[in-house]
Amino acid sequence: MEHHEAAEHHRKAAEHHEHAAAHHREAAEHHEQGNHEKAAHHAHIANGHALHAEHHAEEATKHHTDTHGGPVERPIAATAEE
């Protein structure tokens, strides 16, 4: 695997999150205007972008695991609580 593969997956995840957020904002505007069909359309597009973002985040994690060893021993949230 290429060294910067994980970084590219992180960038793609962020890009898809940004697109999802834009479509959610668009859906909200259409909903407020009473155009529920367009609101649903943008909500579905947002969901698709969210799924793509999740995929890229998982691929980045896989790359980190393959490159740096096994799974993380303790979740990040656990260290934040200490």
User: Going residue by residue through the chain (82 aa), what tens digit of pLDDT does each one get?
Assistant: 456 888 999 999 999 999 999 999 999 999 999 999 999 999 999 999 999 999 999 999 888 788 877 655 555 555 555 5
Please tell me the predicted confidence (pLDDT) of residue 2: 57
> Residue 53: which residues within 8 A CB-CB, separation 6 or more?
12, 13, 14, 15, 16, 17, 20
The count of domains in the chain is 1
CA distance 60 to 44: 25
The residue range of the domain holding 38 is: 5-81
